[in-house]
Each structure stands twice: as structure tokens, then as C-alpha cells.
Amino acid sequence: MVIEFDLKHMKNYLEHWKRLTKENLEKREVGEIVCKVDDKYELISSSSPLDCKARGGEPVAFFHNHPSKYTGIDWGEPRLSYGDIGWGILNKMPIMCVGADTKTGIRIRCFCADIDKTESLRTELLTAKNPKEIIARENPYKECLTY
């Protein structure tokens, strides 16, 4: 499954995600999915690709924040955790974006998956005893957009 998604569409959501990250620095982690239904893109306040599929759509991107003040973890620049990467692989998410508070303000970084690598890793992860080792060895997500 390959979903063509022009990264220009992503820019429509970046300001919104920046504001959402700022509003939730001291609260909680929030997530949203960009869902393609027919030829339109919808933003769903959910962390489940099933909510997109229930609308008859395909998930093309997932955003979540790393609320450093809430968790007490200074993430530095926004990056995907091992758990984020595993979730993206298992849910066949083409684009993963994360927002965080940095020394220079709120930043959003998006990572695009190599679909071929994702498919082969997915099979491996489903039966893995230590998924972190697999992800550390081969991360299919590469940075494709910073805002």
C-alpha cells in the first residue's frame, strides 16, 4: 500500500499542530490523524487509524506531541521514540510528525517512511521478542519536513 501525499498538504496542519503542542506542554500527549477520504483530507482528533478507516478513509499522517513539562523529559529537538517508530510501522503510517518545546520555541518535525522497509519490518515486529533491537537496527522513518 502506497499513499501519495504531497507534503505541501502537510503545511496546512503545521500551525495548528504548533498551537496544539504549546497548549498541551503541561497537560498531556495529544494525537491527530490526517485521513484521506475520497479526494479530501480530514483531520481527526484520534490516535487510532481505525477511526479513519471507519470513515472510509486511509490514514496518511499521524501527529503527536512530546509534552516535556508534563513528562519531565527534555526531548530537545522533536524526534520519534522507539515506541513511536514501532507504532508507525505496525499501523502502516506513511508520515509521522512530532511536536516539542525546544530552546528556540515550539517545533514540528515530520518523518516519512520507506514503505518497502516498513512492510518487511512490520512482519518482523509482530513476532519479535525485543522490538527495540529491530527498530535500533533499521528505522524506516527519515526526516522529510521541519517547521
* Boundaries of every domain in the chain: 28-146
Phi, psi (deg, nearest 5) at residue 64: -150, 165
Give rounded-to-5 percent helix, strand, coil for the chain. Answer: 35, 30, 35
For residue 70, is pLDDT > 70?
A: no
State the pTM of this model. 0.83
pLDDT at 109 over 50: yes
pLDDT tens-digit readout, 42-51: 889 888 999 9
Task: For residue 80, give the C-alpha cell.
Answer: 520519534
pLDDT for the residue 111: 93
Under the banding of pLDDT at 50, 70 and 90, the label for residue 56 is very high
Q: What is the pLDDT of residue 112?
A: 92
User: Mean pLDDT across the chain, nearest whole number?
Assistant: 84
Fold of 28-146: Cytidine Deaminase; domain 2 (3.40.140)
